Amino acid sequence: MPQVLTANRLSDGEVVYLASDGAWVERIAAAKVFTSPAEGESGLHIGAAAERELKIVHAYLFDITPAGKPVKMREVIRAAGPTVRRDLGKQAAL
Amino acid sequence: MYRYDEFDQKAVDERVVQFSGQVARRLSGELTEDEFKPLRLMNGLYLQLHAYMLRVAIPYGTLSSKQLRMLAHIARKYDKDYAHFTTRQNLQYNWPRLADVPAILADLATVEMHAIQTSGNCIRNVTSDHFAGASADEVDDPRIWSEIIRQWSTFHPEFSYLPRKFKIAVTAAPKDRAAIKVHDIGIIIRRDAADVLAFDVYVGGGQGRTPLIGHMIGESIAAEDLLAYLEATMRVYNQYGRRDNIYKARIKILVHQIGADEMRRQVAVEFVEVKAQGALALPQVEIDRIAAYFASPAFETLSDENPTTANPAFNVWLENNVAKHKVPGYAIVTVSLKPIGGIPGDASAAQMDVVAGLAEKCSFDEVRVSHEQNLVLAHVRQRDLLTVWQQLAAAGLGTANYGLITDIIACPGLDYCDLANARSINIAQAISTRFANQDRQREIGELKLKISGCINACGHHHVGHIGILGVDKKGVEFYQITLGGSGDETASVGEILGPAFGEADVPDAIETLIDVYFAKRSPGERFLDTYRRVGIQPFREKLYAAH
Ligand code: SF4
């Protein structure tokens, strides 16, 4: 299953995703998709380095559907914001 | 209210400086996350799904207007204009930036507040009866004893690294509004035949993965010996509590395994020793010193009156949300943080300011936070009730549902919480909306409905008359229903009804349970009474036949 690397930004806890250009971005739509376990493994190394560089904390991979949506509710909510406050989180700006 | 002495203030100020340094070192890379995490947790700072979360201690749920205004100010300045009141009588900010946390803590310190003892394996913020000092049925103000325990436990070197977190609750009324029997230690203060205060100490209650009701270990402990007895209990726990397995590390597991009698015996042995050392004996002058902080406000000499008016909405609120005060002419007002379809326990900064203003004008400057996630104005003149209600209602705080089916406890669940298996607020909202009709709610009568998003049970589902637990089944949210729990003086753990329900089916399931109750109830019975009389079977049969 394809995967995306996520973490929380150190300075404010914002949910971020690793993009193809190596930047940590706030939108899941811009996230790099890892298609194999080996790629995912390399992603985790990038995450560990970013933790050392004080960009992020707690990097991990999660599964997405072929359409690019998170499989688990937890990641759906992290990508958007609380389902009970549509005015808050990333969804607020959409 | 308790006011900091110079030592309290110094300790809190020093902690702000210390944690500010730790945050700076984290941001500069001198501290790794592994090194920083235990430090931030000691200061109430978590990392949740969307952001950091700061949990602020509200000792025994008592706040001054000034403190509540500061909480509102912080919500406005550093957060997203609201905050969440929890079942631990604390307050949580859901969106603070790490870099702002030192400034937030510094602001809190200016009003004698902090975030210490809200996390980690220490003795947590002591909780108590939200009607303390006001209710007609109490024998003493339990906050005096909560404060004495707070002073003993805060920064106690032996208790900073316990096997697990440790929760103490205190009540001084026969009606237990503080759920003391589901705490690690629960204390009931009574007066004995000679009208002297006596302390019954319950040990080993708790919720979470293994819900258990506490056992009375210490009976009629004298006031001067209270701390010695608690210290003895903690020593036994510290010595035998399991540190190798977090699921077995709570004192309830120890009591469960060795039995209440053995626990009682061991504590008694330690108690003799601690008492002999004498250091923890509480002299009357010290008790009086603390008690002075909680002296009754300057109540006027008034008579009880009938505050009902021609306004039916006010009268309904009066019946539901206003309780009897110990002083004639006064009343206790519960400010519902459960608007129909709203988020239980959330309050906007503007709402906090309204409540602070009302407390200042009409309640001797005091606000309480209840473990049921409501606010309380403890000392309102009966003649001011109409004005208070009007101002609350104008701020969206006038919902007349205290103790009813829409007065739901719900933890933050998967909408915010990193540990959650499922959402809980959405379920609360759906049930609240389904049962919005005021007449119907009142016809159902007292019903404690409590929802948790995982087995940690922050939403107290085990002790809900109806409890709902969110579970994850292969990535889909399901909800397990329990019946017959209670957190009051008749405490009991709810029994699981059967297979869990999908999100959309929960309100219908609750309807079915209410139908069974209506069909079976005898005159005057609450839902819990009927359940206790008829048992789970009729509910189970109807529910699973229907679904
Ligand atoms: S019960 Fe679970 S989901 Fe709810 S707040 Fe506690 S830890 Fe989070």
Subunit contact A54:B27, Cβ cutoff 8 A: yes
Q: Which of A28, A51, A84 is the best substitution to test chain B (most B C-beta atoms within 10 A)?
A: A84
What angle, rounded to 10 degrees, do the helices at B349-362 and B65-78 form? 170
Where residue B138 sits, what CATH number does that domain have?
3.30.413.10
Q: Which domain holds residue B526?
A: 409-546
B76 CA to centre of ligand 1 in angstroms = 25
Residues on chain A touching B472 (C-beta within 8 angstroms): 73
**The pLDDT value given to residue B46:** 96
B41 interfaces chain A, CB cutoff of 8 Å: no
Q: Determine, for residues A11 and B414 on separate chains, whether the beta-carbon distance falls below 8 Å.
A: no
CA of B429 to nearest chain A CA: how many angstroms apart? 9
Let me know if residue B122 belongs to a domain: no
pTM of the predicted model over 0.90: yes
Give this complex's ipTM.
Answer: 0.96
Cβ(B120)–Cβ(B41) below 8 Å = yes
- Asked if B445 and B540 sit in the same domain, the reply is yes
DSSP string, A27-90: -GGGBPPB-SHHHHHHHHHHHHHHHHTTSEEEEEEEEB-TTS-BSSHHHHHHHH--TT-TTSSG
User: Can you read off the two tokens belonging to residue B161?
Assistant: 């690294």
Any domain includes B529:
yes
- Alpha carbon distance, N-terminus to C-terminus of chain B: 52
User: What per-residue confidence (pLDDT) applies to B245?
Assistant: 66
pLDDT at B3: 83
Of residues B150 and A24, more confidently modeled: A24
pLDDT at residue A81 is higher than 70: yes
Strands in B370-457 per DSSP E: 375-381, 409-410, 449-452
- The pLDDT value given to residue B238: 85
Residue of A nearest to B32 (CA): A52
Question: Which pLDDT value is given to residue B159?
Answer: 78
Query: Token pair 């941001």 is at which residue?
Result: B27
Residue B164 and residue B261 share a domain: yes
| In-domain check, residue B120 | no
> Using a CB-CB distance cutoff of 8 angstroms, which residues of chain A are in contact with residue B425?
82, 84
Locate A82 and state its tokens.
């609380």
- B416–chain A Cβ distance below 8 A for any pair: yes
Give the position of tokens 């996350």: B33
**Do both B76 and B206 map to the same domain?**
no
Q: How many helices (H) and strands (E) does chain B have?
A: 17, 21
Asked if B50's CB is within 8 angstroms of A14's CB, the reply is yes
Shared domain for B338 and B377, answered yes or no, is: yes
Specify whether B147 is located in the same domain as B283.
Answer: yes
Using a CB–CB cutoff of 8 Å, tell me whether B471 touches chain A: no
CATH number (domain holding residue B355): 3.30.70.3340
What are the tens digits of pLDDT across the range B201-260? 999 999 999 999 999 999 999 999 999 999 999 999 888 866 666 656 789 999 999 999
- Domain of B94, CATH number, reads 3.90.480.20
Write down the pLDDT at residue B278: 84
> Do B372 and B426 share a structural domain?
no
Q: What span, in angstroms and rounded, lies between the C-alpha atoms of B185 and B233?
A: 9
Which residues of A fall within a CB distance of 8 Å from B416? Answer: 82
Tell which of A26, A71, A73 to mutate to test the B interface (max B CBs under 10 Å). A73
Tell me if A84 and B425 make a contact (CB, 8 A cut-off).
Answer: yes
Residue B474, φ and ψ in degrees, nearest 5? 50, 45
Q: Is B198 within the bounds of a domain?
A: yes
Pocket of ligand 1 (CB under 6 A): B 411-413, 417, 419-420, 452-454, 456-459
Ligand 1, atom nearest to B418 Cα: 8
* Inside any domain, residue B67: yes
Tell me, yes or no, whether B445 and B363 share the same domain: no
| Same domain, yes or no: B282 and B374 | no
Q: Final residue of a domain: which of B264, B292, B320?
A: B292
Given CB atoms, is A76 within the 8 Å cutoff of chain B? no
Q: Structural domain tally of chain B?
A: 4
Q: For residue B322, give the 3-state DSSP assignment.
A: strand
Whether B466 and B498 share a structural domain = yes
Q: Which two tokens stand for residue B193?
A: 């035949």
Amino acid at B544: Y
Would you state the pLDDT for residue B160?
A: 73
Asked if B287 and B317 sit in the same domain, the reply is no
Contact call for B415 and A54, based on CB within 8 A? no
Q: Is B26 on the interface with A (CB under 8 A)?
A: yes
Spatial distance between the Cα atoms of B252 and B241, rounded to a whole number of angstroms: 9
State whether residue B48 sits within 8 Å of chain A by CB.
yes
Which residues in chain B are closer than 8 Å to A85, comparing Cβ atoms?
A: 343, 415
Which residue among A12, A57, A88 sits closest to B33, beta carbon to beta carbon?
Answer: A57
User: pLDDT for A25-44, tens place per residue?
Assistant: 999 999 999 999 999 999 99
Regarding whether B262 and B170 lie in a shared domain, the answer is: yes
Q: Quick one: B387 and B416 in the same domain? A: no
Total length of chain B? 547
Cα of B7 vs centre of ligand 1, distance in Å, is 35
Q: What is the pLDDT of residue B269?
A: 96
Q: Quick check: A11 pLDDT over 80?
A: yes
- The answer to whether B426 faces chain A, any CB pair under 8 Å, is yes
Domain boundary among B338, B365, B394: B394
Low-confidence ranges of chain B (pLDDT < 70): 241-248, 546-547
